[in-house]
Chains A and B, each alone.
Chain A
Amino acid sequence: MPEATGAASRIVLETRDVGKQYKLDGVEVNALRGVSIAIRSGEMVSIMGPSGSGKSTLMHIVGLLDRPTTGQVILEGDDISNLSPNQLAELRNRYIGFVFQSFNLLARTSAQANVELPLVYAGVSGADRARRATDALERVGLGNRMGHFSSQLSGGQQQRVAIARALVNNPSIVLADEPTGNLDSRSGIEVMAMLQELNAQGITVVLVTHDDRIARHAERVIRVFDGRVQAEEIVGNRVLAAQELASLPAGEVAG
């Protein structure tokens, strides 16, 4: 399998023959049937497939939010299969940042406090926390919206707050599940530009999507179908969101 980035980069996250079964009213649903993937440090990878193919299930498992029925998940070289819920919580806190389709920000809570949340559970003290949250919000271009509540922000801005929250504790990997799914096209492009920029700065990004065009923002695409990996390919003509943004008719500049 060809390497998109430097061949020397280490594997951050790996699944070995992961299966996931759900039981619904006695009927077994095989959401995943033996998925083995590896994500390397600094990569930007898309997991792509049609609706119901098991993308989200896979993302929840690699994000340690859910446990596989069979197989192993290896994070930073360690098998996490036998860890307690609290140990998983600590690993999520330290190594993983999430960006969800529906933003999942705390309501009636300022952007600043939302971004601070992972640091609160990491035990970072008040002043340090505020400084790092400010940095993260500035990085996503929201330095001037720190005191706003989620409800006072546009969808695109909310998703950028979520990206800042994902970044703030310097994770090994950022997992984004349909991050543009609830956004208009311009905001979507802005969010993709943001993720590409972060990746360029060295952050590992895994993008889950059903949309071929969104998937081609990554360097590599893993195609999932019916709970299996169908194909993996290097993206030839990568979409660069920043260029796209520049070519759009000048709208109001976000942020």
Chain B
Amino acid sequence: MNLAESFRIALRALNANKARSILTMLGVVIGVAAVILLVGIGTGVQDEITGQVEGLGSNLLFIVPGQYGGSMGGDQAPPSRRFTIEDSDLLARRVPGVDAVVPVLQAGSTIKRGNRSVRVVVAAANEQGGEVFSGTLEGGRGYRKSEVQAAARVVAIGSTVRETLFPGQDPVGKVVTLEGQRFTVVGYYESMGGGLAGDQDSQVYIPITTAQRVFNLNYINTIVVKATDPARIEVVKADLRRVLTPRYGEEFTVFTQEQTLGLLSDLLGTLTYMLAGIAGISLLVGGIGIMNIMLVSVSERTREIGIRKAVGARTYDILSQFVIEAVGLSVLGGIIGISIGWGGAVLMAKFTPVPTNVTPWAVATAFFFAAGVGVFFGVYPAWKASQLDPIVALRYE
């Protein structure tokens, strides 16, 4: 008997038990759909975040206090000494080949106007902040050098902030309250769309000197340096180290864009695998469902197996018939699961802020995994069927 014949027999059997076949398949459908959707989300988020980081330009360097190893986790020392604005100024004076040196301080706060208020992330920098933040001004202006020097209470706001505090109005020139201080709005930004990488529409931008004063801090979080020539980034990095070492020893780390991306994709990659693993467990459960049903089916069809053997079916014929049945269930379930998962991912990208990306690699893996589940969980029941003694099978009631 050839394989095509086994296929026909298996399909006929699945068709004869439609309701049961569908229910059995459901386990695999859900498992595969979950794998596709969750991996799609993981990949989508990863793409978006790395895209955003890349969008900043490949010539950025980030200096943070503390020592960081080459990889995520593990040997990180807590920052012992933090940077100050003076460090940033020193670097600006002493390191050649840079377009901008930007001290950055970030803090959470609430911004108010009248009885309206909204939670925001305050991103503070000097007048060169625009070089390293990715937003685009929609109206008004950013703060000026003189305002940074004077620690003026001026603010540029993200689109969510504007919509909440100034629905349908031009905010420029209006006054808001931040940390109990009155700030004048000088500009507002275009919506960047809600990303998972931190909602930039809920940020507000103020001069770093002002931020230190209102939050009562004398340090800054990070210094971001923009090199003039991306090709000379390693030279700039060495210069930055040379200037900072006398002050901080080894207690600081300079990341290039490339390293930051590496760290990010390590982290996000791990996240994606975790999601895939969780979804994989449901696929495994689906496989056990197939095995369960196949075992039931074998004992229910003992007589059929006896009849087939009586008229000449060999071990292999029965084995292949039942394996194909199990694989048929799982492959069909896999195809339906892929369609549902893919459809879900597309809809999710369209109607929610969660970005998704279903890669051919994920689809292929899910498909072959589903087929593998069918083989793995189908072989044992099929083997049991094939080993039945014909006379015992015929006598079975």
Task: Tell me the A residues contacting B by CB distance below 8 Å.
Answer: 60, 63, 65-66, 85-86, 89-90, 92-94, 98, 100, 104-109, 117-118, 120-123, 165, 169
Known: A92-B311, A117-B311. 5 other contacts (CB 8 A): A86-B316, A90-B314, A107-B304, A117-B308, A122-B312
CA distance in complex: A60, B306 (Å): 12
Query: Is B390's beta carbon under 8 Å from chain A?
Result: yes
Q: In the assembled complex, which residues on chain A have CB atoms less than 8 Å from the CB atom of B312?
A: 89-90, 92-94, 118, 121-122, 169
Q: Bits for B307-326, please: 1 = Cβ < 8 Å to A, else 0.
A: 11111111111000000000
CA distance in complex: A214, B89 (Å): 115
Using CB atoms, name the residue of chain A closest to B315.
A86
Minimum CB–CB distance from B389 to chain A (whole Å) comes to 8
Q: In the assembled complex, which residues on chain A have CB atoms less than 8 Å from the CB atom of B266?
A: none
Minimum CB–CB distance from B35 to chain A (whole Å) comes to 35
Q: In the assembled complex, which residues on chain B have CB atoms less than 8 Å from the CB atom of A94?
A: 312
Contacting residues of chain B (345-397) with chain A, CB-CB under 8 angstroms: 390-391, 394
Which of B310, B314, B394 is the one whose CB lies under 8 Å from A86?
Answer: B314
Using CB atoms, name the residue of chain A closest to B311.
A118
Contact B314 A106 (CB under 8 A): no
Q: In the assembled complex, which residues on chain A have CB atoms less than 8 Å from the CB atom of B310?
A: 63, 65, 92, 98, 104
Minimum CB–CB distance from A203 to chain B (whole Å) comes to 17
Task: Tell me the B residues contacting A by CB distance below 8 Å.
Answer: 1-2, 5, 9, 12, 16, 303-304, 306-317, 390-391, 394
Q: In the assembled complex, which residues on chain B have CB atoms less than 8 Å from the CB atom of A105?
A: 307
Using CB atoms, name the residue of chain A closest to B390.
A65
Which of B12, B308, B390, B394 is the one whose CB lies under 8 Å from A121?
Answer: B308
Which of B2, B5, B312 neighbours the largest number of chain A CB atoms within 10 Å of its CB? B312
CA distance in complex: A98, B310 (Å): 8
Contact B16 A121 (CB under 8 A): no
Q: In the assembled complex, which residues on chain A have CB atoms less than 8 Å from the CB atom of B391?
A: 60, 65-66
Contact A106 B313 (CB under 8 A): no
Which of B12, B314, B315 neighbours the largest number of chain A CB atoms within 10 Å of its CB? B314
Which of A89, A106, A122 neighbours the largest number of chain B CB atoms within 10 Å of its CB? A89
Minimum CB–CB distance from B324 to chain A (whole Å) comes to 14
Minimum CB–CB distance from B309 to chain A (whole Å) comes to 6
Using CB atoms, name the residue of chain A closest to B386.
A85
Which of A106, A108, A120 is the one whose CB lies under 8 Å from B307?
Answer: A106
Q: In the assembled complex, which residues on chain A have CB atoms less than 8 Å from the CB atom of B311?
A: 92-93, 98, 117-118, 121, 165
Contact A89 B2 (CB under 8 A): no
Minimum CB–CB distance from B304 to chain A (whole Å) comes to 6
Given contacts A90-B314, A93-B312, contact A120 B5 (CB under 8 A): yes
Q: In the assembled complex, which residues on chain B have CB atoms less than 8 Å from the CB atom of A66?
A: 390-391
Minimum CB–CB distance from A35 to chain B (whole Å) comes to 17
Which of A65, A106, A121, A165 is the one whose CB lies under 8 Å from B304?
Answer: A106
Minimum CB–CB distance from B325 to chain A (whole Å) comes to 15
Given contacts A60-B391, A66-B391, A104-B394, contact A121 B307 (CB under 8 A): no
- 6 CB < 8 A contacts A-B: A65-B394, A92-B311, A93-B312, A106-B304, A121-B308, A122-B312
Minimum CB–CB distance from A90 to chain B (whole Å) comes to 7
Minimum CB–CB distance from A77 to chain B (whole Å) comes to 20
Q: In the assembled complex, which residues on chain A have CB atoms less than 8 Å from the CB atom of B317?
A: 121
Q: In the assembled complex, which residues on chain A have CB atoms less than 8 Å from the CB atom of B309?
A: 89
Q: In the assembled complex, which residues on chain A have CB atoms less than 8 Å from the CB atom of B313?
A: 89, 121
Minimum CB–CB distance from A63 to chain B (whole Å) comes to 8
CA distance in complex: A90, B12 (Å): 24
Q: In the assembled complex, which residues on chain A have CB atoms less than 8 Å from the CB atom of B308?
A: 117, 121
CA distance in complex: A169, B185 (Å): 94
CA distance in complex: A92, B390 (Å): 11
Using CB atoms, name the residue of chain A closest to B16.
A108
Q: Give the 4 A-B CB pairs with smallest separation, nearest first.
A: A93-B312, A121-B312, A118-B311, A86-B314
CA distance in complex: A90, B317 (Å): 12
CA distance in complex: A85, B2 (Å): 19
Minimum CB–CB distance from A12 to chain B (whole Å) comes to 18
CA distance in complex: A63, B313 (Å): 14
Q: In the assembled complex, which residues on chain A have CB atoms less than 8 Å from the CB atom of B304?
A: 106-107
Q: In the assembled complex, which residues on chain B have CB atoms less than 8 Å from the CB atom of A104?
A: 303, 306-307, 310, 394
CA distance in complex: A92, B312 (Å): 6
Minimum CB–CB distance from B235 to chain A (whole Å) comes to 76
Using CB atoms, name the residue of chain A closest to B303.
A104
Which of B1, B310, B311 neighbours the largest number of chain A CB atoms within 10 Å of its CB? B311
Which of A109, A121, A165 is the one whose CB lies under 8 Å from B1?
Answer: A121
Given contacts A92-B310, A98-B311, contact A123 B2 (CB under 8 A): yes
Minimum CB–CB distance from B299 to chain A (whole Å) comes to 15
Using CB atoms, name the residue of chain B closest to A87.
B314
Q: In the assembled complex, which residues on chain B have CB atoms less than 8 Å from the CB atom of A121?
A: 1, 308, 311-314, 317
CA distance in complex: A147, B1 (Å): 23
Using CB atoms, name the residue of chain B closest to A89.
B314
CA distance in complex: A51, B12 (Å): 38
Minimum CB–CB distance from B307 to chain A (whole Å) comes to 5
Which of A120, A122, A169 neighbours the largest number of chain B CB atoms within 10 Å of its CB? A120
CA distance in complex: A105, B306 (Å): 11
CA distance in complex: A165, B308 (Å): 12
Q: In the assembled complex, which residues on chain A have CB atoms less than 8 Å from the CB atom of B1?
A: 120-121, 123
CA distance in complex: A90, B390 (Å): 13
